Amino acid sequence: MPFEGHFLTLWAEAALHSLGFFWMAFWAFGLGYSISAAIQVFTSRAAMSRTMGGRGLRPVVLGTFFGFVSSSCSFAALAATRSFLAKGAGLVPSLAFLLASTNLVIELGIVISVFLSWHFVVGEYVGGLILIGVMWGVVRATRPDSLVRQLRDRLEAGGDDDPWPLSALWRAPRVWADLAQAYIGEWQMVWKDVTIGFTVAGIIAAFVPGEFFVWLFPGTGGDSAPGFGEVLAQTIIGPVAAFFTFIGSMGNIPLAGLLYANGVSVAGIMAFIFSDLIVLPVLRVNAQFYGWRMALYIAGVFLIALIVTALAIHYGFWALGLAPEAVTRGLPAPESRFALDYTFWLNLGFAAISLGAFVLAQRAGHGGHDHDHDHGSGTADHVLRALALLSLAWLLAGGVLALWG
């Protein structure tokens, strides 16, 4: 096949991968942003501070439980976490929510079972709890009190603390407009990062061969099991590889399956999967919410926690004699993601919700509850907007190529 034809084929495949990744995650975005909007509109700082504002075990357990019943989408979880913090929740319970909502949800385990094996489903759920415990220990050891004070000042400056009661849902039409504005505001904050992130994920999935990622991990391809040094190196390289893939909690599972099929250790795979909250778009969104110092602190805490957890899962399987054997599966055809399954119906429902919210928000204007949604400004935001528009153009052209192919 001539170079031009091969490139166009990969372009179409990349666009389908990107759209497929987003299709798998859209309903989770909608669920997470709905939760965030409800927190903003119905919850007062005083109530949130009473529920999740302490330093003991109870608020951490509550944060973990709320994350478990929440979304598996990294960007949606970020928005909900920011709302918790803005309303007075403690840092550790809020980060426990964030980790649980991207590691302990049921649909993530289903995707892992498709691309990997039951061992990694167990590793994901047990590891999610270990992640939260290690994160808690690291935060207590580092005592980021000054950063937390700065975060409170940043989130609460000019904030509205006059929540609606739940009963307003059926007696005050204005509350629906406020919910719609809050929901659309979440999309407005991250649409650029999401568009670029999923576009890059598709490009990597189509253009970068799996052998390249395997080359990054020492100790793969041999007949003997990697030693501790190689396992540790793979555990550190996993987050590095994830950082440059831009992929969130759902989208990185297919690539994790590709890595494992080529001999990467359990520790390397788990570190790669757990790294969805330290990829570049997530880091940028956190910086937009909290400032770069706090964003880098959170990323550092998560990095330490995921390395410790990945090693614990790896050697836990080894100690129990349950180390899994690699199964060659790789990436599925991108078209297979668009099946008529539960994802289709959930996406259809949240598409209707999103359209209704957009109409309500447009009609309402900016009156009523004015929840703060900083959409960014300056040169960096203009560059990001331009890249997002280029990404949309790339996806549109790739989609046309796929239809013609």
The mean pLDDT of 43-66, rounded to a whole number, is: 81
Structural domain contains residue 236: yes
Residue 48 is part of which domain span? Answer: 23-374
Structural domain contains residue 165: yes
Structural domain contains residue 403: no
Structural domain contains residue 18: no
pLDDT band at 368 (very low <50, low <70, confident <90, very high): very low
Structural domain contains residue 321: yes
Q: Is the pLDDT of residue 367 over 50?
A: no
pLDDT band at 329 (very low <50, low <70, confident <90, very high): very low
pLDDT band at 311 (very low <50, low <70, confident <90, very high): very high
* 26/212 Cα distance (integer angstroms): 29
Q: Is the pLDDT of residue 375 over 50?
A: no
Q: Is the pLDDT of residue 266 over 50?
A: yes
Percent over 90 (pLDDT), the chain? 35
Q: Is the pLDDT of residue 308 over 90?
A: yes
How many residues does the structure list for the chain? 405
**What's the confidence (pLDDT) of residue 118?**
86
Angle at 152 between CA 141 and CA 181, to 5 degrees: 130
Structural domain contains residue 405: no
Burial class (CB in 10 A: 0-12, 13-18, 19+), 353: middle
Name the domain count of the chain.
1
Q: Is the pLDDT of residue 369 over 50?
A: no
Structural domain contains residue 384: no
pLDDT band at 340 (very low <50, low <70, confident <90, very high): confident
Structural domain contains residue 337: yes
* 194/278 Cα distance (integer angstroms): 14
In this prediction the pTM is 0.72
Give residue-wise pLDDT tens across range 222-246: 666 778 899 999 999 999 888 876 6
Q: Is the pLDDT of residue 199 over 60?
A: yes
Positive or negative torsion for Cα 400, 402, 403, 405: positive
Give residue-wise pLDDT tens across range 110-166: 668 767 888 999 999 999 999 999 999 999 999 999 999 988 888 875 455 577 877
Q: Are 273 and 252 in contact (CB under 8 A)?
A: yes
pLDDT band at 107 (very low <50, low <70, confident <90, very high): low
- Of 102, 52, 95, 125, nearest to 299 by C-alpha is 95
